[in-house]
Each structure stands twice: as structure tokens, then as C-alpha cells.
Structure 1
């Protein structure tokens, strides 16, 4: 019985450590920080915002905007470059919206309302598939303006991860329970 309690304690501790590690790996980035997702006065606003950030699979981009004034359209690179929403990957019309980065590589977002994209309301991010920091986002043009201070992304987790941690705890308990 004492070995069962020890195994249970060990199982819970391992699960908690994995949970803490998982929640620290996933971050929420408020796109544009205090500016939000809007038509910027400076067309390089979002290029500057993204320049000092690194993104990894599992991170979340939070676009804060008002319905009917803006939208978020995930597009391929060609559509990003030409500010065209003709080939949308996904469109979000109600803000704020949280977009989870589920794959590594370049991700492109524009606002398709009016001339918002051509006026600078577009975002390109480079997402790393590992815990290693990727290079900064790639955007056309160069900007010599110093980037704003880095935002402080909040740690979050998905409620879908809870069953995984419960399963892991039970699995560890069974393994250690058989060896006791």
C-alpha cells in the first residue's frame, strides 16, 4: 500500500511538472500590443511589432478588432504580397479572435476591408516547429525604425490538454504500481 501511495505521488508530481512545462511553452501575443489590429498610420507598424518576437507551434496570435471595421484573413504569401483576399485560407470577421499557430513556417494575415492591407494592416510571422527560437518574421521592405519594447506574452494552456495529463498520470501509476 505504501508503494502505491509513493507511485501516486510520483505520478502526480511528474504530471504537474509536464503541465507547467507545457503551459510555459504556449504564449499569447496581442497583435500590435496596445495598437491592436487596426489600420496603422505607419505602414511598417506590424513589421516593427513582429521584428523582436519569436513564435513557435502552439503560440496564439490574438487579433483585437471591432466587427465590420476590420477582419483577419489568413492568406498564402502571394495574396499577402499583393494584398489580395482572393485565395483565403481562413477568414475571421468577429473580433477579438485567437489564432493558434499549428504548423511551422511562414504565416500571413491581412485585413481585406477597403485599402487596409495596402495601408499596412498585414502581418507575416515565421513559426518555429521546435522550442528553438525561429528567425524574426519576414516582411517585404526594410525598416530602420527601432522596434517597440517587447510585449510580455502570457502563458496559457488548452483545456484539451487536461485529459492527456490525466491519462499520463494513470499510465505512470499503472507502470509503477506493477513494479511495486
Structure 2
């Protein structure tokens, strides 16, 4: 019959290590996420009465530094431009340009990013989007951060894991 080792001096460091480890599981944060612009429709010219589809899509998401967005399209392009060029659909001075049909853009800092189609008529019909990337200070639980980044672990599951680990190492709770 196994003797309880919880009271032994050897058990204390192991138990403390397990408690610290399990406590760290309370909230696990994923470092980045990739968004697909326009969902299953991709980066396309909006229908005539739906010029706000991309701004509505962007407002439903929370973007963070190190996230990426993917633009899937055919016979088109995507550009990052200044705010004034965005408003005028001016593609003459892009800060970024791609026309490969499957463009991934990585956010390396917070702020507003202005994307437009390089085809003037497409941009004028609403194929453009502003993505606001949150700064780390803005990304707190009270700011409505997205749930797909934070995976909470309940206290009960942490306790069950602790009990399993203790029994695995030969420790028995009374």
C-alpha cells in the first residue's frame, strides 16, 4: 500500500512546481491570427448596393500586431495606401502592392492600414477596407478583445489536472 507523501519534505518542491505550472494554464494566449478578407467571397468587387461590405467585415474583427490578413482574388490587385489616397482611390503611390491572387499582409505595428484595389473602378465601387490594428495597451479583457485569441481554462479542470499529476507521481490526496 502506498503511503501518502504529501507531508514529506521531498514532495514540497514538486507540488509547488505543479501548482505554478497549472496556474499558468489559466490563460493561454495565441500569438497571431490570419484573417481572410471578405470571408468565402474573397477580395471581389462588391455588388452595387453593398459598397460597405469590407468596412462591415473589418468592424466585426479585432486585429492585433503580428496578425495577418489574406486577400484571395482573380485578375485584380491589393495595395496599402495613405488615408488620403484611400479616400480618393488613388493608386499612384502605394506603400505595398501585390497582384499574385493570394496576398498575405502581416501587421508589424498598431494603427490604421488602408487597403484598396489597384483597379480604379473596383475601388470606387467599394473594394477597399480600413483595418485598425490595436496596440497592446488597447487589448485588455475590458476592451472586447476577440475570443479566438484567448483560451481560458476553468479552475475545476486545473484542479483535476493537478490531481492527475499528483497521482501519476505517486502522491495521494486524502
Using structure 1 for the length normalisation, give the TM-score.
Answer: 0.60
Match of 2:96 in 1: 90
| CA distance in 2 between partners of 1:98 and 1:58 (Å) | 12
Match of 2:110 in 1: 104
Say if 2:78 is the partner of 1:75.
no
The aligned runs of 1:5-154 (5 Å cut-off) are 21=29, 24-41=30-47, 42-66=50-74, 69-130=75-136, 132-133=138-139
| CA distance in 2 between partners of 1:154 and 1:32 (Å) | 20
| CA distance in 1 between partners of 2:129 and 2:80 (Å) | 9
- Structure number with greater Rg is 2
Using structure 2 for the length normalisation, give the TM-score.
Answer: 0.62
Contact 2:116/2:123, CA 8 A, preserved across alignment:
yes
Aligned with 1:46: secondary structure?
Answer: helix
Contact 1:28/1:153, CA 8 A, preserved across alignment:
no
- TM-superposed deviation, 1:52: 1.5
Aligned with 1:50: secondary structure?
Answer: helix
| CA distance in 2 between partners of 1:85 and 1:114 (Å) | 8
Distance 1:131 1:62, change over 3 A: farther
Contact 2:90/2:120, CA 8 A, preserved across alignment:
no
Q: How many residues align?
A: 123
- TM-superposed deviation, 1:86: 1.4
Distance 1:35 1:64, change over 3 A: same
Distance 1:115 1:153, change over 3 A: farther
Q: Which runs of at least 4 in structure 1 moved beyond 4 Å after TM superposition?
A: 152-155
Aligned with 2:97: secondary structure?
Answer: strand
CA displacement 1:9-51 (0-9 Å, x = unmatched): x9xx8xxx8xx63xx1301110011110010111111011111
In angstroms, what is the RMSD of aligned CA positions?
A: 3.0
Q: Which consecutive residues of structure 2, in runs of 5 or more, have no partner in the other structure?
A: 1-13, 151-174
